Structure 1
Amino acid sequence: MDYNKINDNIIEKIKSAVKGAVYVGDEVNEDFFHDEMPIYGEGIPECLVDATCKEDVANIMKICNEEKIPVIARGAGTGLTGAGVAIKNGIMINMQSMNKILEFDEENMIVRVEPGVLLNDLAKACLDKGYLYPPDPGEKFATLGGNVSLNAGGMRAVKYGTTRDYVRKMEVVLPTGEITEFGSIVSKSSTGYSLKDLMVGSEGTLAIITELTLKIVPNPKYIVSLIVPFESLNNCISTVPKLFQNNLNPQAIEFMERDIIIASEKYIGKETFPKKLDSIDVGAYLLISFDGDDEDLIDNTLEQAAEILIKNGAIDVLVADTPNSIKDAWAARNSFLEAIESQYKLLDECDVVVPVTKIADYINFVNKESKSYIFDVKSFGHAGDGNLHIYTLSNEVDKIKQFKEEVDKFMSIIYEKAYEMGGKISGEHGIGFGKKKYLKNFEGDVNIRLMRAIKKAFDPNMILNPDKVIAISE
């Protein structure tokens, strides 16, 4: 699709229509050219606007819709699929200045926020009041608008669900510049199509979020984590379904192989995970958390869990039950991506999701398949919900073309296997620009046709974050 370029007249229109700062050409900081996965390339906005309010966003969209100028809303830029990159140039709206926590409604257990509020800031504000905002993606300094746009999941999703489950209401600006609201503060609704739920996970392609109303819950009084070493990956992952079958309701279950733990502990400069126990070399780990308000019930749950884990091959069960020991237990897990980035110059990743009962078979398939390629592969993920993070890694920057070609073949094969097992391409990172081809190949023509029709209904001129998720034309 052809778009118009920005000229001086359009720049002057925008400057007179917004309260926020406007940057043009070389004034745009290069940090806005890419996200956290630079392998998908850069996009340079012709103009960057710091939005300060919904009226700024609405006025920009009205001008760009009339002039057929592509627009992209941008949060903290922590995405991993190119969804926040201005591949069609045009105007980028920086949402980070809209960062106020507007109101805690404690009677209705909700909080109103602007989309530029960081997840970390909301989490702290909730804890200060005795509440918990359960979504817990690994990147704590992403914006809430970005979290909602990707339906971010994270480690607590196994018990509490994903971001979608906590969005009650949102205010949005449509590509036409109209301002409207989706959802309500009420906890249930069968009032027509759920436009609010359609927005969650739409990756900024349907409308721009300008306010969110999110559900919060009481913060549990007790939390305990278990570090559980296994000799083999098979025993490690195959134990997970048994925890659910025994109704133990863990808050989080993460799996990781030995190599990624060693890399991460080296990166953070602290060792917490044992590498050898009872003369047995540890090959893989589960990191499990339980929470609740009844200490005796938690203790009973831990006893049951330990019995199940040992019975199914755990070498030992190590308990972390103080704030510092829990922090140490999760420090290595929370640093996986940074550790990988510190070791490799070329990387790509997928966050495929498969049924929990298929994780071991799937990871074994991935590991076997990876031996045919020039790159290294490291895997870890959310064992409790089947969302796996698989990284392809290399330092041979002079072979970037070959790296991309081989990664494409590898990804196609492992995505196909995921679909065979009943899985999907992405559990939480989205499709963006980088995974668009795989969505088209594996979701099928009917589903893609419906998605394209939805996009057209919201965005008749196809100006909002174009060519992300689905191609705007064949």
Structure 2
Amino acid sequence: MAKKYNEVTPEILEQFKAIVPGKVYAGEEINSDYFHDEMPIYGKGAPEVVIEATTTEDIAAIVKVCYENSLPVIPRGAGTGLTGAAVAVDGGVMIDMSKMNKILGYDLENFVVRVEPGVLLNDLAEDAQKQGLLYPPDPGEKFATLGGNVSTNAGGMRAVKYGCTRDYVRAMTVVLPTGEIVKLGATVSKTSTGYSLLNLMIGSEGTLGIITELTLKLIPAPKETISLIIPYENLEDCIATVPKFFMNHFQPQALEFMEKEIVLASERYLGKSVFPKQVEGVDIGAYLLVTFDGDNMEQLEELTEQAAEVVLDAGAVDVLVADTPAKKKDAWAARSSFLEAIEAETKLLDECDVVVPVNQIAKYLTYVKGASEKYDFEVKSFGHAGDGNLHIYTCANDMDEETFKKQVSEFMADIYRKAAELGGLISGEHGIGFGKKDYLAEFAGPVNMRLMRGIKETFDPKMILNPGKICYDPKEEA
């Protein structure tokens, strides 16, 4: 079969070095961390060249060379993705965006901030707080880059009240696969100005363009927050309570569910016990972790009392209030470390982040538990109960990798089909990348895949930008 892409020659390497002297690495100079993301089960891929870029113009020049020579180009941020989206599965040139990490300035009258794509979520959150502002998107991985968040439309724990990353992107500068530079969007809150190219770029996982600057919406930071740890005897009662928060107009900032096993793993990882394991002789099997925000503590305390009445009537065993900074920090530190805790205790790991209607969560998780019983791996689950985005991990320590992959593939296909049957989608926030594209093809169907492929071809006529991801696999055409 013919090879679709060319290789980086010594002459091309010299062109890159002329564009960004001292920031071009090839062969054994490349750190192996670039070969994979946080979910290495999807395989590894070594780029031929890694380039640390720091300006839009440099990236445009690099991409133009790649376009002229039919070289794959892979943009990469912090490498914290979970679907293999930032892995060089076809070799080529990887552009490391992590050094483009400046907060360029605030427009306090329009409540926006301009940032480079390598700024870490945590750094913007802390800096905005100093201005009395909040950047609402709150994915669990605080040290991911904002460019990566936008590329996957990351959601996170505050999405139930404030929405996902997409809702906070006002404008961006993008380098197209041809090397052209375009500006999309504007510092305005509404538009009916043609097709939304801005929204096409958001969630495109680096397959349509390389984001080099972002204008992000901010909101005034709430003055107070309060969190509740709500233990239940079983997961079914826990999940069944979730719709009652909305029926009673409580508007939680975050509403998370977790099973006992994942909480125990997290506490082992952190070396600190936070969640009750038994209450008045009742063994606890699951928890809700809820945060409310508002302008004053009196308002929040009243809301907390109302919520406590509702959840206790609905089967909660107790309601524990985390109303001090230390208590809130400990509770949310435990929640934020779930993935790290699983990774620390697991040799073989895969995951999915399906999203289903909130009233279908209990039915779906019951199905998942039943489906997993015929396999040799263990299933651990947690997620965003408030918006139906569920994180389901398959974990094994005593299986060989080939058997694990085969069993997980069958299991994932099964539970993705069930999610679709219940009105859900196969990813709520992690994206498709390399690892989930076969499931997307089955879920979306041939017409939708044709439309996505057509969009890809329009933006990227030579199909060089992050190939092998979402809807395009060069190996099928080689």
Normalising by structure 2, report the TM-score: 0.98
Return the alpha-carbon distance in structure 1 between the equivalents of residues 288 and 342 of structure 2: 20
SS at structure 2 position matched to 1:444:
helix
Look up the match of 2:153. 151
User: Which amino acid is 1:299 matched to?
Assistant: E
User: Do 1:462 and 1:472's aligned partners in 2 also have CA atoms closer than 8 Å?
Assistant: no
Return the alpha-carbon distance in structure 2 between the equivalents of residues 208 and 241 of structure 1: 39
Structure 1 range deviating more: 10-19 or 64-73:
10-19
Unaligned runs of 5+ residues in structure 2 are: none
Do structure 1's residue 304 and structure 2's residue 306 form an aligned pair?
yes
Q: Map 1:389-404 to 2 at 5 A.
A: 389-396=391-398, 399-404=400-405
Do structure 1's residue 165 and structure 2's residue 147 form an aligned pair?
no
Look up the match of 1:211. 213
Return the alpha-carbon distance in structure 1 between the equivalents of residues 452 and 413 of structure 2: 21
User: Which amino acid is 1:184 matched to?
Assistant: A
Return the alpha-carbon distance in structure 2 between the equivalents of residues 393 and 186 of structure 1: 45
Do structure 1's residue 376 and structure 2's residue 378 form an aligned pair?
yes
User: Which amino acid is 2:352 matched to?
Assistant: C
Look up the match of 1:90. 92
SS at structure 2 position matched to 1:389:
strand
SS at structure 1 position matched to 2:451:
helix
Return the alpha-carbon distance in structure 1 between the equivalents of residues 19 and 46 of structure 2: 22
Look up the match of 1:235. 237
Return the alpha-carbon distance in structure 1 between the equivalents of residues 436 and 319 of structure 2: 38
Look up the match of 1:458. 459
Return the alpha-carbon distance in structure 1 between the equivalents of residues 276 and 27 of structure 2: 52
Return the alpha-carbon distance in structure 1 between the equivalents of residues 50 and 401 of structure 2: 30
Instruction: Return the offset for 1:297.
Output: 2.3
Instruction: Return the offset for 1:471.
Output: 2.4
Return the alpha-carbon distance in structure 2 between the equivalents of residues 161 and 296 of structure 1: 26
User: Do 1:35 and 1:84's aligned partners in 2 also have CA atoms closer than 8 Å?
Assistant: yes
SS at structure 1 position matched to 2:331:
helix
Q: Map 1:249-268 to 2 at 5 A.
A: 249-268=251-270
User: Do 1:20 and 1:52's aligned partners in 2 also have CA atoms closer than 8 Å?
Assistant: no
Look up the match of 2:82. 80
Runs of 4+ in 1 over 4 A off after TM superposition: none
Return the alpha-carbon distance in structure 2 between the equivalents of residues 313 and 423 of structure 1: 27
Look up the match of 1:468. 469
Return the alpha-carbon distance in structure 2 between the equivalents of residues 263 and 23 of structure 1: 39
Look up the match of 1:438. 439
Structure 1 range deviating more: 434-443 or 463-472:
463-472
Look up the match of 1:428. 429
Return the alpha-carbon distance in structure 1 between the equivalents of residues 99 and 270 of structure 2: 31
SS at structure 1 position matched to 2:211:
strand
Return the alpha-carbon distance in structure 2 between the equivalents of residues 257 and 311 of structure 1: 21
Q: Map 1:4-403 to 2 at 5 A.
A: 4-19=6-21, 21-396=23-398, 399-403=400-404
What are the superposed Cα offsets for residues 218-255 of structure 1, whole Å, 9 maximum, x if unpaired? 11011000000001111100100011011110000000
Return the alpha-carbon distance in structure 1 between the equivalents of residues 407 and 473 of structure 2: 27
Instruction: Return the offset for 1:300.
Output: 2.0
Look up the match of 2:414. 413
User: Do 1:130 and 1:218's aligned partners in 2 also have CA atoms closer than 8 Å?
Assistant: yes
Instruction: Return the offset for 1:384.
Output: 0.3
SS at structure 1 position matched to 2:288:
strand
SS at structure 1 position matched to 2:193:
coil
Instruction: Return the offset for 1:296.
Output: 2.8
Return the alpha-carbon distance in structure 1 between the equivalents of residues 15 and 401 of structure 2: 42
What are the superposed Cα offsets for residues 383-420 of structure 1, whole Å, 9 maximum, x if unpaired? 000000000010125x1101000000000000000000
Unaligned runs of 5+ residues in structure 1 are: none
Instruction: Return the offset for 1:19.
Output: 5.0
SS at structure 2 position matched to 1:137:
coil
Return the alpha-carbon distance in structure 1 between the equivalents of residues 93 and 71 of structure 2: 7
User: Do 1:19 and 1:52's aligned partners in 2 also have CA atoms closer than 8 Å?
Assistant: no
Instruction: Return the offset for 1:18.
Output: 2.7
User: Which amino acid is 2:64 matched to?
Assistant: K
Instruction: Return the offset for 1:20.
Output: 5.8
User: Which amino acid is 2:259 matched to?
Assistant: E
Normalising by structure 1, report the TM-score: 0.99
Return the alpha-carbon distance in structure 1 between the equivalents of residues 407 and 414 of structure 2: 11
Return the alpha-carbon distance in structure 2 between the equivalents of residues 278 and 24 of structure 1: 62
User: Do 1:253 and 1:289's aligned partners in 2 also have CA atoms closer than 8 Å?
Assistant: yes
SS at structure 2 position matched to 1:92:
strand
SS at structure 1 position matched to 2:290:
strand
Aligned residues: 473
User: Which amino acid is 1:235 matched to?
Assistant: D
Return the alpha-carbon distance in structure 1 between the equivalents of residues 143 and 297 of structure 2: 32
What are the superposed Cα offsets for residues 77-118 of structure 1, whole Å, 9 maximum, x if unpaired? 000000010001000000011000000111110000000000
User: Do 1:18 and 1:55's aligned partners in 2 also have CA atoms closer than 8 Å?
Assistant: no
User: Do 1:20 and 1:49's aligned partners in 2 also have CA atoms closer than 8 Å?
Assistant: no
User: Which amino acid is 2:196 matched to?
Assistant: S
SS at structure 1 position matched to 2:91:
coil
User: Which amino acid is 2:426 matched to?
Assistant: I
Return the alpha-carbon distance in structure 1 between the equivalents of residues 231 and 200 of structure 2: 41
User: Do 1:452 and 1:472's aligned partners in 2 also have CA atoms closer than 8 Å?
Assistant: no
User: Do 1:58 and 1:178's aligned partners in 2 also have CA atoms closer than 8 Å?
Assistant: yes
User: Which amino acid is 2:421 matched to?
Assistant: E
Instruction: Return the offset for 1:324.
Output: 0.8
Return the alpha-carbon distance in structure 2 between the equivalents of residues 367 and 264 of structure 1: 21
Return the alpha-carbon distance in structure 1 between the equivalents of residues 253 and 432 of structure 2: 27
Instruction: Return the offset for 1:14.
Output: 1.3
